[in-house]
Amino acid sequence: MMGLRSVGILATGSYMPERVLTNFDLEKMVETSDEWIVTRTGIRERRICSPEQASSDLAYEAAKKALAKANISAEELDMIIVATVTPDMPFPSTACILQEKLGAKKASALDVSAACTGFLYGIATGSQFVANGMYRYVLVVGVETLSKITNYEDRNTCVLFGDGAGAALLGPVAEGYGFRAFELGADGSGSSLLCQPGGGSRIPASAESVGQNLHYISMAGKEVFKFAVRVMNSATEAVLEKSGIHKEEIDLLVPHQANKRIIDAAIQRFGLSEDKVAINLDRYGNMSSASIPVALDEALEEGRLKEGDNVILVGFGGGLTWGATLCKWSTNEHV
C-alpha cells in the first residue's frame, strides 16, 4: 500500500467587489461613529458586492487567478470545494455552479458550511483526497456575500461584515513540506450565538419570518468574542504541538479577520511581532470563510512567504467551529 502524499497550496487567488463601504458611510445609516468602530474592531471599510453579483461570481474570479498562477487548466481539476454560508441558493451547491462557470468538467463538487472556519474545513477535507492519491488537484474557495444577509439597521452587526472570495489550489508537494498538522473542532451548544435563524427547515421563509428580520445574521457579540480569543489560542497551540514546531519558529500567522482585539490577543500570547501576522480587516472587515484565503493571497503578493516558512492559518466561527493548520510552505508541485 502506498504511503500518504504530502499536500500543500500550489497557488492562491482573491477577488473583492469594487464598491467600498466606509465607516463614514455607516455613520449616515445607523447610530455609530468611525472612532467607535475602529476602537472596538479595527475595521475602517469593507467591500460590498453589487445586487447582480452572487457568491459564485466572486468565487469564479478568485478561482481563475489561482489557476492562472499555477498554470493549471480548469479541465485538470479533480474536485472543487466551496466554503460559504451565503450560497447562490440552498441547492444545488455553489461548487457545482462554479464548476460549470470554470468549465471544470471532470471535477466533483461540494459545499462546506462551517461559517468563518469554512476555508480551514475545506482545505482539511480536500487535502485528504490528494494525500491518499484519489485526486491530484483540489480547488478550495472561501467566498461570502454577507451583505445579502446583513441587517443595515442593526448597528452591532452591520459594521462588521464584508464580501469577498479567496481561492487555493491544493496539490502534491515534496515530502516534509505542505500541511503538517490540522486541528478542527466544534461546539454545537453555542449554535444560537452566531446564526441566520430563518430560511431553513426550522423557520422556512414566510412573510412573518421576513418581517421579524430572521433572515439576517444574529450574533451575541460578547460571548462570541470570548470564545474566539480562547479557541484561536488553543487551536494554534494544538497544531504547533502536533507538528513539533515551537512558537518562535512561526514565520507567518494568518488569522481569521474578525476583530483586531482578538488578533492582538494572539500576537501577545505567542510573542509575535506584527510583521509576522497577516492583517487586512481594516480594509475588508469580516469576510467569514473568505478572510483567511484573501489574507494569505495578499501576503504572498507582498512577498511575505518563502520556501520552507512555517505558516499557521487559524479561524473560528458560527457553529460554533474552529480550526487551524500548520503548513511548511512550498508552491513547488511534486511530480
Q: Would you say the CATH fold of 179-328 matches that of 7-175?
A: yes
Residues β-bridged to residue 20: 47
> Count of CB atoms within 10 A of residue 137's CB?
25
> What pLDDT, on the 0 to 100 scale, is given for residue 287?
98
In degrees and rounded to multiples of 5, residue 184 shows phi and psi of -125, 145
Alpha helices in the chain (DSSP H): 23-27, 34-41, 55-70, 94-102, 118-131, 207-211, 221-243, 260-269, 281-284, 291-301
Average pLDDT over residues 291-305: 98
Contact in structure between 48 and 17 (CB atoms under 8 Å): yes
> Count of CB atoms within 10 A of residue 214's CB?
18
pLDDT reading at 203 higher than 60: yes
In degrees and rounded to multiples of 5, residue 168 shows phi and psi of -140, 130
CA pair distance 28, 209, nearest whole angstrom: 27
Catalytic residue (one of 116, 158, 195, 327): 116
> What pLDDT, on the 0 to 100 scale, is given for residue 3?
78
Of 154, 100, 161, 138, which is closest to residue 290 (Cα–Cα)?
161
Q: How many residues does the chain have?
A: 335
Of 297, 301, 318, 316, which is closest to residue 9 (Cα–Cα)?
297
Domain boundaries, the chain: 7-175, 179-328
Q: Is 132 a catalytic residue?
A: no
Decide if domain 7-175 falls under CATH 3.40.47.10: yes
> What pLDDT, on the 0 to 100 scale, is given for residue 187?
98
Q: Which DSSP string do the residues of 267-294 spell out, in sequence order?
A: HHHTT--GGGB---HHHH-B-GGGHHHH
> What pLDDT, on the 0 to 100 scale, is given for residue 202?
97
pLDDT reading at 126 higher than 50: yes
CATH superfamily, domain 179-328, is Thiolase/Chalcone synthase (3.40.47.10)
What is the chain's percent helix, strand, coil content, to nearest 5? Answer: 40, 25, 35
CA pair distance 11, 3, nearest whole angstrom: 24
pTM for the full model?
0.97
CA atoms in the 13 A half-sphere facing the CB of 255: 28
Contact in structure between 137 and 78 (CB atoms under 8 Å): yes
Residue burial 258-269, b: 16+ Cβ < 10 Å; e: rest: bbbebbebbbee
Q: Is 215 a catalytic residue?
A: no
Q: Is 286 a catalytic residue?
A: yes
> What pLDDT, on the 0 to 100 scale, is given for residue 209?
98
Per DSSP, 91 falls in state S
In degrees and rounded to multiples of 5, residue 61 shows phi and psi of -65, -45
217-246 pLDDT, tens digit per residue, is 999 999 999 999 999 999 999 999 999 999
In degrees and rounded to multiples of 5, residue 240 shows phi and psi of -65, -45
pLDDT reading at 40 higher than 50: yes
> What pLDDT, on the 0 to 100 scale, is given for residue 1?
40
Average pLDDT over residues 95-112: 98
Q: Where residue 2 falls among pLDDT bands split at 50, 70, 90?
A: low
CA pair distance 96, 108, nearest whole angstrom: 8
Catalytic residue (one of 23, 259, 280, 286): 286
Q: Which residue has the cell 445607523?
A: 30
Catalytic residue (one of 23, 96, 256, 327): 256
Residue burial 291-323, b: 16+ Cβ < 10 Å; e: rest: bbbbbbbbbbeeebbeeebbbbbbbbbbbbbbb
